[in-house]
Amino acid sequence: MRSPSRKSRAKCVWQLHNIKAADYFLQTVACRHGGVVTLSRVELMEEIKVSPDYNWFRSTVPLKRIIVDDDDSKVWSLYDAGPKSIRCPIILLPPVSGTAEVFFQQVLALTGWGYRVISLQYPVYWDLMEFCDGFRKLLDHLQLDKVHLFGASLGGFLAQKFAEYTHKSPRVHSLVLCNSFSDTSIFNQTWTSNSFWLMPAFMLKKIVLGNFAKGPVDPKMADAIDFMVDRLETLNQSELASRLTLNCQNSYVEPHKIKDVAVTIIDVFDQSALSLEAKEEMYKLYPNARRAHLKTGGNFPYLCRSAEVNLYIQIHLRQFHGTRYAAINPAMVSAEELEVQESHLSKNQDSDDEQ
């Protein structure tokens, strides 16, 4: 049976069938033709996998594996691109279903503008304090004093918790939070968080996939979902169980500990895993944060609306140009922009002195 075209997939209803007890999912797509529903199998991440950008990223940016804990099984996987002379790069943290590859479009665009970008994938950590301690060791290993963090969903929550964890000796200079949250209770899963480690991989994948967009989506969003489903398939049982545990164990962000951190909140107006209440809570938590809204983008705007997301990240990072916390190669900053930035910094300093 012929697979549906890219456009027709935008009008499809995605269904996932668990095959026996194995961790294998058959992705099918139900397409309506004259009132008759037919099912046909589609190849995962077909569009993104064959895109020139993705292949260029995989062929030019090496994947590094780093161990910083006593436990050799805890391996950080990361892509480190851009000028290594930059000591305050932006680090990208993925959602539950993501790997370091999901931010390939941000890595390509931002390094092209002169920024140093690190996209990473975390090892198995079952506790937030354990994660924060491991991440601190990673920054020490990379010889990074302070960093900017971009986090999507769980990645954003972990970024906030790390900023909170290091507030007495700050390691986070700024945050960009994409479709993120500040309190795990919004998922109503705190009572099951201690049992994820017992569940088989196929059940954990089903839980994650339950938050993916259902119903008609545009072609780019369909491609993003395909790609994320494929990334999800690469995660083993312990990786998924530990991420879901971090995502759902009872915890919340204490904003008074990170009140001096510059924040930009990126969210979408269409359907995503976050409720309107969760978004409003983020706005209340960070009343001075810059807000960047996308009309559409679903759960994965960094994939399907990458141009807009990249622009918002660039705008966020521009405020640090000309300072020791710039994530960009100074040679890539125009003299005019640097002059404006220095003038802005001088005004802020005068204002602080007056106070």
- pLDDT tens across the length of the chain (355 residues): 444 454 444 434 333 333 322 333 333 333 333 333 333 334 434 588 889 999 999 999 999 999 999 999 999 999 999 999 999 999 999 999 999 999 999 999 999 999 999 999 999 999 999 999 999 999 999 999 999 999 999 999 999 999 999 999 999 999 999 999 999 888 877 777 889 999 999 999 999 988 786 777 888 999 999 999 999 999 999 999 999 999 999 999 999 999 999 999 999 987 777 778 888 899 999 999 999 999 988 899 999 999 999 999 999 999 999 999 999 999 888 765 666 666 655 655 554 445 4
pLDDT at 251: 92
Kind of pairing, strands 262-268 and 147-152? unpaired
pLDDT at 354: 52
Q: Which of 46, 36, 49, 39 is nearest to 17 (CA)?
A: 39
pLDDT at 37: 31
Residue 97 per-residue DSSP state: T
Strand spans (E) along 43-115: 63-67, 75-81, 90-93
CB under 8 Å to 23, separation ≥6 — which residues?
Answer: 200, 201, 202, 205, 233, 237
Residue 3 per-residue DSSP state: P
Using CB atoms within 10 A of its CB, is residue 133 exposed (0-12), middle (13-18) or buried (19+)?
middle
pTM of the predicted model as reported, rounded to 2 decimal places: 0.83
CB under 8 Å to 78, separation ≥6 — which residues?
Answer: 63, 64, 66, 100, 118, 119, 120, 121
Structure tokens at 273: 């895993």
- How far apart, in whole angstroms, are the C-alpha atoms of residue 62 and residue 80? 8
Q: Is 16 within 8 Å of 212 (Cβ atoms)?
A: no
> Radius of gyration (Cα) for the chain, nearest Å?
21
Structure tokens at 248: 């759902």
Q: Is 162 within 8 Å of 174 (Cβ atoms)?
A: no
- How far apart, in whole angstroms, are the C-alpha atoms of residue 82 and residue 20? 45
Q: Is 254 within 8 Å of 53 (Cβ atoms)?
A: no
CATH 3.20.20.70 is the classification of domain 48-189+242-319: no
Using CB atoms within 10 A of its CB, is residue 284 exposed (0-12), middle (13-18) or buried (19+)?
exposed
- How far apart, in whole angstroms, are the C-alpha atoms of residue 249 and residue 190? 5
**Residue boundaries of the structural domains of the chain:** 48-189+242-319
- How far apart, in whole angstroms, are the C-alpha atoms of residue 38 and residue 191? 39
